[in-house]
């Protein structure tokens, strides 16, 4: 059973969802009991919470989290924190997140950026939550690009396909980035599947790419081995999603030894300071030039072996254990 200091670690949501995958990785690093919802609620429980895996609507998700809070001493890590880019859904999501927080004995967010979002959109002081960054997996040896070989003019974007993820911007930038007259068309590869309900968006991206003379390919959902192989393939790693809360996909690149181009944001600057040299931050109007430079210098898309990626999952596990000891 969970110790008085350490709760049962709930791992919830679809198997392919990034929040569930991170919850499982972190639970393995922390140790102790973890898994799906037990039949008998434990005395203490910790859950990684986003409205998108706890219900079909923000209200349903809040109902479920409140039910958890009524049955156990609940602590939570918030993901996908509400922000201005939620548009007309911002009010409903913010209300749900206030209810999540109200149901919990303690709250973690994965960045100062998210703590500031809670202040800006939920009226919660930054001090009301504990900031524990996403932990990196240990880096393994990565295949390096072949010296002297011509690389295709390719852009790689990892994760689900949905509006605002940066696929359209990548297509537009790839279309105008300089290339020799005899070069093949540039290619943008979406390493993942369309998010539920966004299949038409993938078709629209393919249509727009064809208009601009760019190839666009969607891999669909991949198992871990094939996903890793795609991220290690020839191409420029790009993270250009404009609605970032905290991003596991940015860490996916670094863990494989790749330095991704990451669009400038408050979160990107925070991650650049946390793991210096692990990403290359760019302004939106710089993307075409950055792609051209990376195609001409493939080595720039790989991290030197000495690049530190701490905090690791083990570092973060220790922070959680210490925090749980302090939570009433």
- Per residue in 13-23, pLDDT (tens digit) is 988 888 999 99
> Mapping DSSP to helix (H, G, I), strand (E, B) and coil, where does residue 231 land?
helix
pTM here? 0.90
Kindly report the backbone phi and psi dihedral angles of residue 12, in degrees, each rounded to the nearest multiple of 5, phi listed first. -125, 155
Q: Is the dihedral of CA 300, 305, 310, 312 positive or negative?
A: positive
- Confidence class for position 247, pLDDT limits 50, 70, 90: confident
Report the alpha-carbon distance of residue 227 to residue 218 in Å, rounded: 12
**Residue 126 pLDDT greater than 80, yes or no:** no
Question: In this predicted structure, what is the pLDDT of residue 237?
Answer: 97
**Residue 90 pLDDT greater than 90, yes or no:** yes
Q: Which residue has the higher pLDDT, 75 or 183?
A: 75
The alpha carbon torsion through 85, 19, 311, 263 (nearest 10 deg) reads -30
**Residue 182 pLDDT greater than 90, yes or no:** no
Question: In this predicted structure, what is the pLDDT of residue 167?
Answer: 96
Question: In this predicted structure, what is the pLDDT of residue 254?
Answer: 94
> Mapping DSSP to helix (H, G, I), strand (E, B) and coil, where does residue 23 land?
helix
The conformational region for residue 101 under phi > 0 = left, psi -120 to 50 = alpha, else beta, is alpha
Closest CA to 268 of 293, 242, 296: 242
Q: Is the dihedral of CA 234, 240, 243, 248 positive or negative?
A: positive
CB-based contact 76:108 (threshold 8 Å): yes
- Confidence class for position 149, pLDDT limits 50, 70, 90: very low
Report the alpha-carbon distance of residue 93 to residue 266 in Å, rounded: 21
């Amino acid at each position: 059973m969970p110790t008085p200091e350490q709760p049962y670690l709930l791992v919830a949501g679809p198997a392919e969802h990034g929040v569930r995958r991170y919850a499982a990785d972190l639970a393995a690093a922390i140790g102790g009991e973890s898994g799906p919802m037990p039949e008998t609620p434990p005395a203490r429980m910790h859950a990684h919470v986003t409205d998108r895996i706890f219900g079909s609507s923000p209200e349903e998700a809040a109902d479920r989290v409140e039910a958890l809070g009524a049955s156990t001493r609940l602590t939570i890590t918030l993901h996908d924190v509400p922000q201005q880019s939620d548009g007309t859904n911002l009010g409903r999501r913010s209300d749900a997140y206030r209810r999540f927080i109200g149901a919990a004995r303690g709250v973690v967010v994965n960045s100062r950026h998210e703590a500031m979002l809670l202040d800006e959109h939920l009226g919660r002081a930054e001090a009301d939550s504990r900031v524990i960054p996403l932990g990196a997996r240990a880096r393994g040896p990565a295949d390096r690009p072949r010296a002297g070989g011509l690389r295709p003019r390719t852009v790689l974007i990892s994760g689900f396909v949905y509006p605002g993820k940066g696929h359209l911007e990548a297509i537009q930038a790839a279309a105008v980035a300089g290339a020799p007259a005899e070069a093949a068309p540039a290619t943008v590869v979406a390493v993942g599947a369309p998010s539920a309900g966004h299949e038409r968006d993938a078709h629209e991206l393919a249509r727009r790419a064809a208009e601009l003379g760019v190839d666009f390919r969607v891999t669909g959902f991949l198992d871990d081995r094939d996903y890793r192989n795609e991220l290690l393939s020839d191409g420029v790693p790009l993270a250009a999603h404009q609605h970032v809360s905290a991003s596991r996909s940015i860490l996916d690149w670094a863990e494989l030894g790749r330095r991704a181009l990451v669009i400038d944001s408050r979160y990107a600057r925070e991650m650049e300071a946390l793991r210096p040299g692990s990403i290359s931050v760019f302004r939106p109007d710089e993307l075409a030039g950055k792609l051209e430079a990376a195609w001409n210098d493939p080595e720039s898309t790989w991290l030197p072996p000495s690049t530190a990626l701490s905090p690791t999952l083990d570092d973060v596990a220790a922070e959680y254990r210490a925090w749980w000891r302090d939570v009433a």
